[in-house]
């Protein structure tokens, strides 16, 4: 039963208020992209046992999407941040580095 | 292997059971095998068994990082059915169901397959149409199902409330030869039979790397040393992505928690399996008398084997509404398993970009029922490079947009 | 003979006798009794039968760990199976019955199994009943099921109610013994918000029984004084709440705890809910859950009258009940001496204490000997005599193989194999355990705790639950941990003085896993580990012999610990036997996983209030009550309910649907379309945004115009459709399907917030702000003109246009759109005026033949016109191209959601099935969901198919069956007849035709 801090409305939201939206920072591929790119965009997902970045919506709350950095094997939450960004803020990456030295996720580390 | 029988039990009973052998041997790994199967769950063990039985390939090792049958094989709600909509699904699940019919005899191990019937309730007009469609499809697929009315539902399941104020039961899709089996026994029976064929079931042996020469797989690294092989079958459910990573490719999978629960045991009151997709829950009664209950998955990636309690609440609420008498039963135990789900929630039984390496994964919430069919087809794929049961379940289908979508037939985990 | 003593019983109110029944027999007890203590007081030691062998079973314990005393309880709507007698508080009129026997408890046919127990070992079922195959289903399995199963199934609707409770606290203390109270005090003094919960009806826990017997004192006073003072101090703190009869059932991630409160189980006539499920969020959880005594494994340890030593003294002290006149005590530790002391002090006989330790115990042994109780050290029980009741014990040396030294007559045995901390709640969320060699138990490994969202330990075990087995240690531990919990929750704790404690130190215990140590097979096969599931020492050993070496394998193979007590008494003993068989230390074998709940909790409590009419919320349109009053036959659509049809008296639903279609086509029909989704999309980039959302071009739509639009998922599949109206330069109103409003709105917001966040667009779901009524049929315009206001003439409001104004004095937006092919207006009015407008239409429309119509008539009319329906023609696998909707896929746009997906090879495959109309050759109605067969079979032996029915109806307009379907190369095969085998055994032949069956040129709507 997760609790995530909604960076928009400031509420520590219970999981029942939230809607999980899958992997974060996925780049959209539209017309003109290759089949492999498009497959990767829609279906190939990071599935780490450890540090993960994902999208959540405060669906039964302020309705806003946000990002969370979370460990999938302990459910520790390293931080939540704006959905309007293409990569995790440095502050959150630093926080993860302090707790999970040597972590990496896609191109981030 | 000493056969199990009433006679053997009588004999052993009179000599303090000193004559029972190990159900499966516990050998040291050899340096090389024809085929290595990674993962000694139901699917992995069944694959090995049919490699031996159907193709005479017995120089096989099944490597298991924990204890055999310790993953989802031993955590599911044991439902067996094949009333799927799409041809490719119906084919593999019906193959599995028919193999379950004779599994106890084939393995000389009582897996307690109980073809007590599986019923999927229709509680909206939309569901009625969906199940009528499935019934038509099943008739052409050789799967025996029928759409029955509410009176017949009530007759088969007297404890059901067909007149609920919100979602009255309007009918059901009924598969009389669906049912349940004893999940652990399936893994144990296959392990015993594999061991008897001379295969090596090696527990506490974790694969840490996959060795390739060029595009071809040549072996695995394990915590008990390197082991060579000609062919490699990876059947590790929630950890398939990690194994694919080791081999340098990616799989379209995500791992999520699926939960189930049982009540305290009571005397028999329901002898069919009932699934209620609109309200989201399903229930059967085990031979021990426990009501075995399952529902949906969490929606976030999770490897903890713990789910979120609100799903249990939703499931129980749905079932109390459907079966009001369970309100005064008690939940004895709840647990979670990690299931790997694909983009269309159908499994992958496929060749991979690595020559000689095959994957069997993505069973999501419905793997137990498929075990023998999956093993049968996957063994054929490994042995011959091609299997009609597996063809449509290629990992490359996502690129082509050729999905196997069963959501029409079942909106709920199973 | 177990009986009520003249004195004692601190829980009893002897001024309040109560009457209850057991197996129909009327018995007496007192308020304060448990069902178990009252049964014992009435001499009823045997209370049930075991699961497999149907062996006689007696009460073993005094609390939640009880494996045997499970009862059918209550009757009718309050009947409940498997109620634990040791945790059932007695009330007047309680009805209980023993379980799992036939015809009765004393004589049980199932006990024949016990005679075959030599054969019925672990794994029996896997090796047996394999041949012949049909017998399993028809003979063996039904028999096995009937003989398993414990309690009876409830038959009636539950007469009680349940509720949920949500609470957030800083510190949750689970367990109201002295450690829990002390921890709560330490935390409470910091000002932290504290909740203390205790599963029983009493504060103080084990110490209230044991310490007075041991003459232990806290702060120089008896323990009950300390407990009362601490409780009173806590009660006074405004930041502390205390609850009895509230169990900590499960600990979940991020500080979530499930509490289970039994409100009226002890007082069934009281008002209010029976159980309350507490959903607690706590920053820190202190588990002061105590410890559970372990049985000893000796032959006959399951005979009624053999009990845990702690339970025996609990019954004496708490309930004034002696379990026997002559009680033999057998132990491997000092605590059981308290039982002997309690019995002796109560005037009962203790013929002997058997202490398996060669040197015996410490101060408590001395105290017992001082009371004149004989102690035999290094001795063990070889065997218990008796079947339905202990009649004596045969004694041997522990270090031997069971050679009997002598027999002692007795009617009860009090056993103690040491104590195991209750680590369940610690373990639920991943807390690890460490093996404590000194006490031979697992206790929490505080270096590997369960961690919360911040990665910090959030469960803090205290007292005996933490392995602090002496009261002084327990209090000190609790004090420190209470403060630590408060501090971690953000409060400043103040030091609280730990009171001085005097209590005798215990001598070291010695693990005894089998009694005697060298017990031969004949004794081991009578030495029970799991009393309820009938698992014996020999079974676990057999499992190991057969290769079931993992603790999980052994558990599953033998069913050890899988009974309703979840192995509270059996797990460690079984683990020790397994480890011994494998020749490895216990910690290496490890434990099975602890899963919630701690003890079983009612399904009713989990479901809560949401049942029956309030099972799920119902969304209502403003006209709902009108529909209800006019005979609507309801159909659930999402959380809405929509009228399927309005059958009149003596009219069938089908006939009503036929009438509604005809009337709408010939005169005037009214449809409550309020459930249609309505989403406002506004802003400078709204047009650009909608061009991405829809396959059509929406940015070019003119103000005042409407356009039918399609929405696809990014994966290419058609997901929703509806009419979009442009309201002004930067505002569009998007109509969605009834079921799709929320998901479409969510879909829009997702793209806006996470992909195109720099686009200036605002969306609002205004579905419930408007009532929407479709006014349909040749007389549609007439009724609107009669109501007056807005000019709805052909010239003023053309097809696919909309207009704002007033109708019948009510502000309205009229959309000239048609889903039926008739002259049609969809009129939106403020929700508050929906009913008034509907009634005005009905009244004014009477002369024009106005009738309401439901969803089925709507569906038929759209099918007659060849319009697709999301959910019928689409099922998540269909793309617009399959449905001949190419015209709605803008060629001018570079991109829209789903466009790239639709370029993939399978989506562009010319062999995809395409939409056509289907007309049966004989006019019959095609079966819903039927498939068209093709020649031959596929590689898996399945019949080849070439199409399927997506919608099928009897058309009253054409008086024949009409259908739509997806068919291989369908549009190129007009006129061809294909075959649909029905599940009714008939084969239906249907001709492929154009999907528009009625008014192909659209003349009816263009008037």
Chains that touch B (3 or more CB pairs under 8 A): A, C
Residue in C253, C750, C753 nearest the CB of A75: C253
What's the token pair of residue C668? 């005037």
CA distance C185 to C183: 5
Q: What is the mean pLDDT of chain B?
A: 94
In this prediction, residue A91 carries a pLDDT of 97
Under the banding of pLDDT at 50, 70 and 90, the label for residue C1006 is confident
Q: What are phi and psi of A29, to 5 degrees?
A: -115, 125
Residue in B91, B136, B328 nearest the CB of C931: B136
In this prediction, residue B54 carries a pLDDT of 98
Contact B250 A44 (CB under 8 A): yes
Q: Which residues of B touch A47 (CB under 8 A)?
A: 241, 253-255, 301, 340
Q: Is the pLDDT of residue B166 over 90?
A: no
Residue carrying structure tokens 């009860």: C412
Task: Note which residues in 86-105 of chain A have CB less than 8 A from chain B.
Answer: none
Angle at C844 between CA C840 and CA C849, to 5 degrees: 125
Q: Which residue has the higher pLDDT, B126 or C483?
A: C483
Q: What is the arithmetic mean of pLDDT over B395-410?
A: 84
DSSP state of B345: S
Angle at C499 between CA C495 and CA C504, to 5 degrees: 140
pLDDT digits (tens, 9 = 90+) for C533-588: 999 999 999 999 999 999 999 999 999 999 999 999 999 999 999 999 999 999 99
Under the banding of pLDDT at 50, 70 and 90, the label for residue B413 is very low
CA distance A60 to A17: 5
Chain C nearest-CA distance from B213, in A, is: 32
Q: What is the mean pLDDT of chain A?
A: 96
Task: Note which residues in 664-723 of chain C have CB less than 8 A from chain B.
Answer: 715-716
**Residue in C closest to B106 by C-alpha:** C130
Contact, C810 vs C836, CB < 8 A? yes
CA distances from C208 to B153, B299, C513 (A): 55, 47, 29
Say what percent of chain C tops pLDDT 70. Answer: 100
Residue in C451, C454, C754 nearest the CB of A83: C754
Task: Note which residues in 224-263 of chain C have CB less than 8 A from chain A.
Answer: 252-256
pLDDT digits (tens, 9 = 90+) for C83-139: 999 999 999 999 999 988 877 888 888 777 777 888 888 888 999 888 888 888 888
DSSP letter string over C611-638? -GGGSS--B--TTHHHHHHTT-EEEEET
Q: Is the pLDDT of residue C716 over 50?
A: yes
Task: Specify the length of chain A in residues.
Answer: 109
Q: At what angle do helices C834-845 and C780-787 cross, to 10 degrees?
A: 110
Could you tell me how far CA C289 lies from the centroid of its own chain?
Answer: 24
Q: Strand order of the sheet with strand C706-712?
A: C706-712, C718-728, C731-736, C677-682, C762-765
Which residue intervals of B283-414 are DSSP H helices?
309-322, 371-384, 397-400
Contact A55 C754 (CB under 8 A): yes
Q: Is the pLDDT of residue C913 over 50?
A: yes
Q: Is the pLDDT of residue B18 over 80?
A: yes
CA distance B339 to B303: 9
CA distance B354 to C502: 72
Q: What is the arithmetic mean of pLDDT over B170-174?
A: 97
Under the banding of pLDDT at 50, 70 and 90, the label for residue B412 is very low
Question: Which residues, other chains included, contact B11 with Cβ-Cβ below 8 Å and sequence gap of 6+?
Answer: B19
Contact C749 A14 (CB under 8 A): no
Q: Is the pLDDT of residue B410 over 50?
A: no
Q: What is the mean pLDDT of chain C?
A: 96
Could you tell me how far CA C471 lies from the centroid of its own chain?
Answer: 38
Q: What is the arithmetic mean of pLDDT over C884-900?
A: 96
Mutate to test the interface with B, among A47, A52, A56, A70 (most CBs of B within 10 A): A47
Domains in chain B, CATH or no CATH each: 29-109+182-252+344-400 (3.50.50.60), 118-177+255-342 (3.30.9.10)
Under the banding of pLDDT at 50, 70 and 90, the label for residue C1007 is confident
In this prediction, residue C920 carries a pLDDT of 96
Count of alpha carbons within 13 angstroms of residue C644, beta-carbon side: 13
DSSP state of C788: -
pLDDT digits (tens, 9 = 90+) for C15-73: 999 999 999 999 999 999 999 999 999 999 999 988 888 899 999 999 999 999 999 99
Q: What is the arithmetic mean of pLDDT over B100-126?
A: 95
Under the banding of pLDDT at 50, 70 and 90, the label for residue B408 is low
Lowest pLDDT segment from C11-20, C589-598, C821-830: C589-598
Residue carrying structure tokens 């910690």: C587
Rounded to two decimals, the ipTM of the complex is 0.98
Q: What is the arithmetic mean of pLDDT over B20-30?
A: 96
Domains in chain C, CATH or no CATH each: 8-114 (3.10.20.440), 162-291+421-502 (3.50.50.60), 295-417 (3.50.50.60), 521-582 (1.10.10), 621-865 (3.30.1360.120), 866-993 (2.40.30.110)
CA distance B186 to C86: 38
Q: Is the pLDDT of residue C428 over 80?
A: yes
pTM of the full structure: 0.96
pLDDT digits (tens, 9 = 90+) for C601-648: 999 999 999 998 899 999 999 999 999 999 999 998 888 999 999 999
In this prediction, residue B409 carries a pLDDT of 47
Contact, B251 vs B348, CB < 8 A? yes
In this prediction, residue B42 carries a pLDDT of 98
Q: Which residues of C touch B203 (CB under 8 A)?
A: 550
In this prediction, residue C808 carries a pLDDT of 97
Domains in chain A, CATH or no CATH each: 3-99 (3.30.2270.10)
What's the token pair of residue C301? 């340890």
Q: Which residues of B touch A45 (CB under 8 A)?
A: 252-254
Q: At what angle do helices B87-101 and B371-384 cross, to 10 degrees?
A: 110
Nearest in space to C286 (alpha carbons), one of C421, C426, C156: C426
Under the banding of pLDDT at 50, 70 and 90, the label for residue B196 is very high
Instruction: Give the 3-state secondary structure of C260-297.
Output: EEECCCCCCCCCCCCEEEEEEEEEEEEECCCEEECCCC
Question: Which residues, other chains included, contact C672 with Cβ-Cβ below 8 Å and sequence gap of 6+?
Answer: C621, C623, C627, C642, C643, C771, C772, C773, C838, C852
Angle at C534 between CA C529 and CA C536, to 5 degrees: 40
Chain A nearest-CA distance from C627, in A, is: 31
Nearest in space to C723 (alpha carbons), one of C707, C700, C710: C707
CA distance C501 to C217: 6
Residue C978 backbone zone (phi > 0: left; psi -120 to 50: alpha; other: beta): beta
């Amino acid at each position: 039963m997760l609790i995530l801090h909604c960076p928009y409305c400031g509420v520590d939201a219970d999981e029942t208020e939230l809607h999980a939206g899958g992997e974060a920072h996925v780049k959209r591929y539209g017309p003109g992209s290759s089949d492999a790119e498009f497959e990767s965009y829609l279906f190939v997902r990071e599935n780490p046992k450890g540090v993960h970045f994902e999208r959540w919506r405060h669906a039964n709350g302020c309705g806003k999407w946000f990002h969370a950095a979370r460990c999938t094997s302990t459910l520790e939450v390293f931080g939540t941040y704006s959905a309007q960004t293409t990569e995790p803020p440095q502050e959150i990456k630093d926080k993860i580095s302090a707790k999970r030295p040597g972590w990496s996720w896609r191109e981030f580390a | 292997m000493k056969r199990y029988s009433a006679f053997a039990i009588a004999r052993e009973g009179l000599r303090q059971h000193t004559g029972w052998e190990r159900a499966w041997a516990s050998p040291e790994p050899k340096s090389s095998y024809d085929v290595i199967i990674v993962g000694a769950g139901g699917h992995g063990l069944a694959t090995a068994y049919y490699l031996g039985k159907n193709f005479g390939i017995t120089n096989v090792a099944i490597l298991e990082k924990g204890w055999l049958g310790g993953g989802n094989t031993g955590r599911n709600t044991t439902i067996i059915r094949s009333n799927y909509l799409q041809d490719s699904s119906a084919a593999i699940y019906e193959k599995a169901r028919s193999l379950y019919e004779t599994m106890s005899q084939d393995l000389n191990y009582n897996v307690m397959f109980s073809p007590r019937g599986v019923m999927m309730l229709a509680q909206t007009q939309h569901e009625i149409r969906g199940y009528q469609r499935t019934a038509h499809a099943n008739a052409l697929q050789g799967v025996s199902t029928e759409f029955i009315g509410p009176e017949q539902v009530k007759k088969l399941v007297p404890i059901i409330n067909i007149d609920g104020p919100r979602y009255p039961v309007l009918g059901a899709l009924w598969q009389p030869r669906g049912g349940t089996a004893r999940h652990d026994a399936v893994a144990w029976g296959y392990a015993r039979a594999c061991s008897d064929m001379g295969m090596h079931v090696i527990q506490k042996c974790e694969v840490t790397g996959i060795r390739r020469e060029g595009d071809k797989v040549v072996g695995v690294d394990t915590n008990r040393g390197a082991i060579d092989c000609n062919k490699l079958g990876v059947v590790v459910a929630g950890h398939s992505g990690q194994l694919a990573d080791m081999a340098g490719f990616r799989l379209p999978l995500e791992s999520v928690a699926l939960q189930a629960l049982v009540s305290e045991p009571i005397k028999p009151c329901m002898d069919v399996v009932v699934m209620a997709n609109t309200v989201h829950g399903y229930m059967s009664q085990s031979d021990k008398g426990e009501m075995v209950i399952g529902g949906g998955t969490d929606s976030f990636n999770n490897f903890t084997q713990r789910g979120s309690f609100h799903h249990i609440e939703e499931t129980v609420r749905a079932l109390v509404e459907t079966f009001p008498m369970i309100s005064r039963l008690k939940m004895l135990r709840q647990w979670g398993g990690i299931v790997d789900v694909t983009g269309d929630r159908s499994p992958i039984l496929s060749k991979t970009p690595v020559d000689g390496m095959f994957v069997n994964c993505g069973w999501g919430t419905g793997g137990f029922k498929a075990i023998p069919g999956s093993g049968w087809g996957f063994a054929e794929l490994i042995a011959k490079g091609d299997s009609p049961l597996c063809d449509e379940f290629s990992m490359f289908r996502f690129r082509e947009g050729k999905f196997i979508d069963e959501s029409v037939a079942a909106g709920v985990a199973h | 003979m177990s009986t009520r003593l003249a004195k004692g019983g601190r829980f009893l109110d002897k001024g309040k006798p109560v009457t209850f029944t057991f197996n129909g027999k009327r018995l007496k007890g007192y308020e304060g009794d448990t069902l178990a203590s009252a049964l014992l007081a009435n001499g009823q030691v045997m209370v049930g039968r075991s699961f497999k062998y149907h062996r006689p079973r007696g009460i073993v314990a005094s609390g939640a760990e009880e494996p045997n005393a499970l009862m059918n309880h209550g009757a009718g709507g309050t009947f409940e199976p498997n109620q634990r007698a040791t945790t059932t508080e007695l009330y007047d009129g309680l009805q209980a019955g023993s379980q799992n026997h036939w015809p009765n408890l004393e004589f049980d046919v199932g006990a024949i199994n016990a005679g075959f127990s030599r054969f019925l070992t672990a794994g029996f079922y896997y090796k047996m009943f394999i041949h012949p195959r049909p017998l399993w289903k028809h003979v063996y399995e039904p028999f096995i099921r009937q003989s398993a199963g414990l309690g009876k199934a409830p038959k009636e609707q539950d007469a009680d109610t349940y509720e949920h409770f949500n609470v957030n606290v800083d510190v949750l203390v689970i367990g109201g013994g002295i450690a829990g109270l002390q921890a709560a005090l330490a935390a409470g003094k910091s000002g932290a918000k504290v909740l203390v919960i205790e599963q029983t009806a009493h504060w103080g826990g084990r110490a209230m029984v044991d310490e007075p017997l041991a003459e232990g004192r806290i702060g120089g006073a008896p323990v009950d004084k300390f407990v009362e003072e601490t409780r009173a101090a806590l009660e006074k703190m405004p930041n502390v709440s205390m609850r009895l009869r509230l169990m900590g059932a499960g600990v979940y991630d991020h500080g979530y705890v499930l509490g289970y409160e039994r409100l009226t189980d002890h007082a069934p006539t009281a008002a209010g809910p029976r159980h309350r499920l507490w959903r607690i969020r706590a920053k820190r959880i202190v588990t002061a859950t105590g410890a559970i005594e372990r049985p000893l494994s000796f032959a006959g340890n399951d005979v009624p009258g053999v009990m845990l030593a702690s339970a025996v003294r609990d019954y004496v002290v708490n309930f004034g009940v002696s379990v026997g006149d002559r009680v033999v005590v057998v132990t491997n530790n000092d605590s059981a001496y308290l039982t002997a002391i309690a019995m002796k002090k109560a005037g009962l006989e203790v013929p002997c204490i058997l202490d398996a330790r060669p040197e015996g115990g410490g101060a408590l042994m001395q105290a017992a000997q001082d009371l004149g109780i004989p102690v035999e050290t290094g001795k063990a029980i070889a065997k218990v005599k008796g079947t339905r009741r202990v009649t004596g014990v045969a004694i041997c040396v522990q270090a031997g193989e069971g050679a009997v030294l002598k027999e002692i007559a007795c009617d009860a045995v009090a056993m103690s194999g040491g104590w195991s901390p209750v680590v369940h709640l610690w373990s639920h969320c991943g807390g690890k355990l460490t093996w404590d060699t000194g006490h031979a138990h697992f206790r929490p490994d505080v270096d590997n705790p369960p961690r919360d969202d911040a990665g910090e330990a959030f469960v803090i075990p205290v007292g005996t639950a933490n392995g602090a087995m002496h009261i002084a240690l327990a209090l000190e531990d609790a004090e420190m941990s209470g403060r630590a919990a408060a501090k971690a929750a953000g409060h400043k704790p103040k030091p609280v003085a730990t009171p001085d404690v005097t209590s005798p130190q215990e001598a070291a215990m010695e693990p005894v896993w089998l009694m005697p140590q060298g017990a031969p097979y004949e004794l081991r096969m009578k030495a029970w580990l799991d009393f309820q599931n009938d698992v014996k020492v020999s079974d676990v050993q057999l499992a190991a012999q057969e290769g079931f070496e993992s603790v999980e394998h052994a558990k599953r193979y033998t069913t050890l610990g899988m009974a309703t007590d979840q192995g509270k008494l059996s797990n460690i003993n079984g683990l020790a036997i397994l480890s011994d068989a494998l020749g490895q230390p216990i910690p290496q074998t490890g434990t099975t996983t602890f899963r919630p709940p701690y003890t079983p909790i009612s399904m009713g409590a989990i479901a809560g209030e949401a049942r029956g009419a309030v099972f799920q919320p119902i969304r209502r349109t403003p006209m709902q009550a009108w529909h209800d009053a006019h005979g609507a036959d309801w159909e659930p659509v999402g959380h809405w309910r929509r009228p399927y049809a309005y059958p009149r008296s003596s009219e069938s639903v089908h006939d009503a649907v036929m009438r509604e279609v005809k009337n709408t086509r010939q005169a005037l029909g009214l449809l409550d379309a309020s459930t249609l989704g309505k989403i406002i999309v506004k802003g400078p980039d709204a047009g650009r945004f909608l061009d991405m959302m829809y396959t059509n071009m929406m940015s070019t739509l003119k103000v005042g115009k409407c356009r039918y639009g399609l929405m696809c998922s990014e994966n290419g599949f058609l997901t929703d459709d509806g009419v979009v109206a442009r309201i002004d330069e930067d505002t569009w109103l998007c109509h969605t399907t009834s079921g799709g409003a929320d998901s479409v709105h969510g879909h829009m917001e997702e793209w806006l917030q996470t992909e195109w966040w720099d686009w200036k667009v605002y969306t609002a779901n205004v579905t419930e702000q408007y009532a929407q009524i479709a006014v349909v049929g040749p007389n549609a315009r007439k009724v609107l003109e009669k109501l007056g206001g807005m000019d709805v003439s052909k010239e003023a409001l053309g097809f696919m246009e909309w207009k704002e104004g007033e109708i019948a004095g009510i502000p309205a937006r009229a959309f000239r759109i048609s889903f039926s092919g008739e002259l049609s207006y969809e009129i939106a009015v403020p929700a508050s005026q929906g009913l008034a407008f509907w009634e005005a239409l009905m009244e004014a429309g009477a002369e024009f033949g106005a009738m309401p119509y439901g969803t089925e008539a709507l569906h038929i009319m759209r099918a007659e016109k060849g319009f697709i329906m999301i959910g019928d023609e689409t099922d998540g696998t269909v793309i617009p191209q399959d449905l001949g909707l190419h015209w709605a896929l803008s060629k001018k746009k570079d991109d829209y959601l789903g466009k790239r997906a639709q370029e993939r090879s399978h989506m562009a495959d010319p062999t995809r099935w395409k939409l056509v109309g289907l007309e049966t050759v004989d006019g019959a109605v095609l079966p819903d969901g039927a498939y068209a067969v093709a020649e031959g079979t596929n590689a898996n032996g399945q019949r080849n198919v070439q199409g399927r029915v997506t919608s099928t109806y009897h058309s009253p307009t054409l008086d024949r069956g009409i259908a739509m379907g997806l068919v291989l190369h369908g549009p190129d095969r007009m006129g061809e007849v294909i075959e649909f085998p029905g599940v009714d055994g008939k084969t239906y032949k249907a001709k492929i035709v154009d999907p528009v069956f009625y008014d192909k040129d659209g003349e009816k709507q263009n008037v």
